Structure 1
Amino acid sequence: MSNEVRRLAVIGIGSGDPDQLTLAAVKAMRGTDVFFVLGKGREKDALTRLRRDMLAEHVPGPYRVVEAEDPWRDRSQEEPSGYAEAVHDWRRRRADVCERLIREELAPGGRGAFLVWGDPSLYDSTLAILEDIRARGEVTFEYEVIPGISSVSALAARHRVSLNRVGRPVHITPGRRLSEILPNDDGDVVVMLDAHESFRHLAGGGVWIYWGAYLGTPDEILIAGPLDEVSDRIRRVRAEARAAHGWIMDTYLLRLGPDAVDG
């Protein structure tokens, strides 16, 4: 049995634009033997193609790409306890898949990598899953994390606004927790993972929204304005885009107060 250690990199690749790859990300990719990709079904084949396009552009090779199906996740749970258990169950099954890939497809002494959308530290499960696998003790490896440009940063850049205002905090939340924050928060709120369009409940509150979908990709959509005026437009465009692509990834910034437009 080899005493050589498997080495992994968790590489943030930005929100979709190949030009958002950092020099550190490109360097790590060029030192990789095997790239692990968890597919999310036929409707999200475009995400896999984007990864392969990045590799083709920036990595001269040789390397292998190993794909596996991402386990199904129960998204019907709305109560906090049921939602948390559904996520933990999905992560356990995802860890099973990743453990098998590392054990079977990455030889001792080899270098593997997971290409993570945005930044691995922000609403992504890869780091927690790798720690779960390490705790099991069935396969040994070391890993490093390469930060990436998150969809939050990309959103602010595309709308040419800052995320914070002078002396105020920024709150980042999943959409399902938005009602717990506004209208009582004294800062600005970035909302991610909002499948239920939670912003629609804030009408009449003097809120400004900066919304973006498919950030960094050729299908990018941007809408900004007073929420009361653009909410219906966002919902219509969002529904049309989801129907056209079979999926949608969107993020938005909510800003309150008379200086909302000035940022």
Structure 2
Amino acid sequence: MRKIHVIGIGSGDPDQLTLQAVKALRDTDVFFILDKGEVKADLVQLRRDILDAHIPEGAYRLVEARDPDRDRAAGGSAYSPAVGDWRSARADIYQRLISEELGEEERGAFLVWGDPSLYDSTLGILEEILERGAVAFTYDVVPGISSVSALVARHRTGLNRVARPVQITTGRRLAEGFPDGVDDVVVMLDAHQTFRQYADEDIDIYWGAYIGTADEILASGPIAEAAPRIERLRAEARERKGWIMDTYLLRRRPKG
């Protein structure tokens, strides 16, 4: 029976891998990597750097495939169907890779940024492939250090305060309003810098981009003061690299 390791590799720093992740890397015959094009070629190189840091040269095979494009213009009621179509297109690719590139008794692996359980599609895609019944395999999941954990560590703060909840959401949801009953909100997948709409409120922001990599950028402070600086840093970084991955924590200040 083929076996797949879904390995959380942290946010980019090879030192962020857990001992369990390193063991899984060394138990793998074939690594599957989706290429997102020339603009994001450094994402593939970061994966290669992680493998080079932890596995002897020549001890594995690397198989690459082109990641399907997603309709990023889809909004409103069209958003979820667009994401579903993209995931199914990815499932087609994953299914082909597993059936054609992985021997019956070999072990393959997908290297997942951060933690596989947090805003990542890999687990759902593997379940879709198994439901199709065209190829059989088992899989396990190795947790990783998420960009959320790395963000608060770099800012030397916690996710929540005493006896208070924390919520993790997306920029799309934050645009609909600050969550009720929550004063600490982590925001991911925000291409529109939604934090700007809260500049008039008593909220601090802890922001980071390319966390865990050599390109890491950090900024923090009251939104009203930090927002212009973050906008500038973000625009400069996107112009320089062609893409950006950022995460931030919003923290409402106590009243009185």
The two structures have a TM-score, normalised by structure 2, of 0.97
List gaps (5 residues or longer) in structure 2. Answer: none
What is the aligned counterpart of 1:69 among 66, 71, 79?
Answer: 66
- Counterpart Cα distance in 1 of 2:8 and 2:125: 16
The one-letter code sitting in structure 2 at the alignment partner of 1:135 is E
Report what 1:215 is aligned to.
211
Are 2:231 and 1:235 aligned?
Answer: yes
Q: Which residue is 2:53 aligned to?
A: 57
Q: Residue by residue, what CA displacement relative to the aligned partner does 1:155-200 show, whole Å, maximum 9, x if unpaired? A: 0000000000011111100101003341644330000000011111
Specify the alignment match of 1:85 in structure 2.
81
Report how far residue 203 of structure 1 moved. Answer: 1.2
Give 2:12's match in structure 1, choosing from 16, 24, 43. 16
Q: Deviations over 1:66-109 (max 9, x none)?
A: 00000000010120x20000000000000000000000000101
Flag structure 1 segments of 5+ consecutive residues without an equivalent: none
Q: What is residue 40 of structure 1 aligned with on the other side?
A: 36
1:237 aligns to what SS in structure 2?
helix
**Separation in structure 1 between the aligned mates of residue 220 and residue 121 of structure 2, nearest angstrom:** 30
Match of 1:180, SS state, is: coil
For the residue of structure 2 that corresponds to 1:135, the secondary structure is helix
Name 1:6's counterpart in structure 2.
2
Match of 2:101 among 105, 108, 117: 105
Shift of 1:217: 0.1
Partner in structure 2 of residue 149 of structure 1: 145
- In 2, the alpha carbon distance for the partners of 1:190 and 1:138 equals 39
- 1: CA distance between counterparts of 2:181 and 2:164? 10
Contact 2:8 2:21 in 1 (8 A): yes
- Alignment correspondent of 1:188: 184
1:245 to 213, 235, 241: 241
Q: Secondary structure at the match of 2:175?
A: helix
Q: Is the 8 A contact 2:167 2:182 kept in 1?
A: no
Cα offset for 1:11?
A: 0.1
1:186 and 1:103 mapped to 2: Cα distance?
A: 46
Quick check: 1:169 aligned with 2:165? yes
Residues 15-71 of structure 1 show CA distances to partners (whole Å, capped at 9, x for unaligned) of 000000000000000010000000111111111001011111101141000000000
1:139 deviation in Å? 0.3
Q: Give the aligned partner of residue 140 of structure 1.
A: 136
Aligned twin of 2:154: 158
- Could you tell me the TM-score, scaled by structure 1's length? 0.95
Following TM superposition, by how much is the alpha carbon of 1:257 offset from its aligned partner in structure 2, in angstroms?
Answer: 1.9
CA distance 1:183–1:105, shift in 2 (3 Å): closer
Q: What do you get for the CA RMSD once the two structures are aligned?
A: 1.0
Cα distance in 2 for partners of 1:140, 1:41 equals 30
For residues 185 and 191 of structure 1, what CA distance do their matches in structure 2 show? 16
Q: Please, which moves more after superposition, 138-147 or 196-205? A: 196-205
